[in-house]
């Protein structure tokens, strides 16, 4: 029997009832949610069930949704059934003031570094992780750089003028100097070599 999204959803609903929600299929991949305190129960079931067999953890990551009151951080698990070649996405949402969720590192060894990365960039606290510390950024950082909590650009920098990004601006796409006068482009032969007819 082919392992379909409909059957996976049916098995999850039979096991967890209304605790598994928000089923959808973006680009054909079954995606669903569960409460954060049930993450290990769901992962264990998906792993151990002899029909589902989701035993490869492709990725653990996080997403910051500032507008989602009391569920600003999502932890996202991508799982793969290698036998039937089926992938699914499982999400749990956390309050950014208490971003705690149980580590999956005892079930999936790969979760060890993946969870450290999600902690490093988003501040997710994976409870029970054997070595939860920054993996890429310096320990002295007192913020989590992938959260949407600070301006993306320094508005005082003149080298970030809009004209650099095709939005007009004061320097006319680099064709004018700071005082507004046109740039002097040397003619062919003056500090410039015309290579249009040069044989390679």
Same domain, 163 and 134: no
Same domain, 95 and 168: no
Q: What single-letter DSSP state applies at residue 164?
A: G
End-to-end CA distance of the chain: 61
Q: Is residue 9 part of a domain?
A: yes
Over pLDDT 90: what percentage of the chain? 71
Same domain, 32 and 106: yes
Same domain, 128 and 53: yes
Within its chain, how far is the Cα of 103 from the centroid? 18
pTM reported for the whole predicted model: 0.76
Q: Is residue 134 part of a domain?
A: yes
Q: Is residue 197 part of a domain?
A: no
What are the angstrom distances between the C-alpha of 92 and each of 74, 97, 162? Answer: 6, 15, 38
Same domain, 145 and 159: no
Q: Is 155 exposed, middle or buried (0-12, 13-18, 19+ CB in 10 A)?
A: exposed
Query: How sure is the predictor about 145, in pLDDT bands with cuts at 50, 70 and 90?
Result: very high
Within its chain, how far is the Cα of 109 from the centroid? 20
Same domain, 157 and 144: no
Same domain, 70 and 164: no
Same domain, 56 and 91: yes
The rounded mean pLDDT for the chain is 86
**Which residues 6+ apart lie within 8 Å of 111 measured at CB?**
57, 60, 103, 104, 105
In this prediction, residue 79 carries a pLDDT of 98
In this prediction, residue 81 carries a pLDDT of 98
pLDDT in tens, 8-38: 999 999 999 999 999 999 999 999 999 999 9
Q: Is residue 200 part of a domain?
A: no
What domain range includes position 162? 153-182
Same domain, 137 and 159: no
As for how many domains the chain has, the answer is: 2
Helix (H) or strand (E) holding 58: strand 56-64
Contact 72, 94 (CB under 8 A): yes
pLDDT in tens, 89-117: 999 999 999 999 999 999 999 999 999 99
Tokens of 11: 């098995």
In this prediction, residue 193 carries a pLDDT of 45
Same domain, 175 and 108: no
């Amino acid at each position: 029997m082919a392992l379909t999204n409909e059957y996976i959803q049916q098995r999850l609903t039979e096991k967890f009832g209304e605790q598994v929600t928000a089923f959808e299929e973006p680009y054909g991949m079954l995606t669903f949610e569960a409460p954060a305190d049930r993450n290990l129960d769901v992962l264990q079931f998906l792993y151990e069930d002899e029909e589902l067999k989701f035993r490869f953890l492709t990725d653990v990551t996080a997403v910051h949704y500032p507008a989602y009151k009391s569920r600003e951080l999502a932890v996202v698990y991508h799982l793969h059934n290698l036998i039937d070649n089926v992938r699914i996405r499982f999400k749990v949402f956390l309050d950014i003031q208490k971003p705690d969720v149980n580590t999956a590192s005892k079930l999936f060894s790969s979760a060890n570094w993946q969870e450290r990365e999600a902690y490093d960039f988003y501040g997710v606290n994976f409870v029970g992780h054997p070595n939860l510390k920054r993996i890429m950024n310096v320990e002295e950082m007192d913020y989590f750089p992938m959260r949407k909590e600070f301006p993306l650009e320094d508005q005082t920098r003149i080298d970030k003028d809009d004209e650099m990004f095709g939005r007009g601006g004061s320097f006319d796409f680099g064709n004018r100097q700071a005082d507004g006068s046109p740039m002097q482009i040397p003619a062919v032969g003056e500090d410039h070599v015309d290579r249009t007819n040069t044989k390679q």
